[in-house]
Structure 1
């Protein structure tokens, strides 16, 4: 299975994922990123920290950027 790396970036921070996780494909990586973003946002809100402008940059083992998922993208759309 391919290994994907979930780097976290915001305007003033970059947190590289040096371990990664093996997942069956990019769709599975996207699903993992959505759940991870929701978990991180919930933790940040509980701690009184902001959640704007953070995103996952999902890369493959070769370092190619396969997907960018902003944390805001995982919030339900307001009506």
Structure 2
């Protein structure tokens, strides 16, 4: 199973040193979205969400395969 690293870029850069196994890039993207939604829940209590923050998904060689912005992880209505 491929190993992916989910590097967080928000108010600071948090490199994923351990990574996670996902069956494919689509599953890694879904995992990034789940992580982003959890982070948004934490930050909304502070009254601010920056939708340009992101998670970069890299493979085992360190190559960034795709990025997911916080804005892509949620739908805002109203």
Q: TM-score range by the shorter chain?
A: 0.7 to 0.9
Structure 1 length normalisation: TM-score? 0.87
Is residue 59 from structure 1 mapped to residue 22 from structure 2 by the alignment?
A: no
The whole-number CA distance in structure 1 between the counterparts of 2:21 and 2:60 is 10
- Cα distance change, pair 49–77 in 1 and its aligned pair in 2 (3 A): closer
Instruction: Give the structure 1 partner of residue 9 of structure 2.
Output: 9
Structure 2 length normalisation: TM-score? 0.88
Number of aligned residue pairs: give it. 77
Moved >3 Å (runs of 4+): none
Please list every run of 5 or more consecutive structure 1 residues that lacks an aligned counterpart in the other structure: none
Cα distance per residue 1:25-54 (max 9 Å; x no partner): 0010011111111011001112x0632131
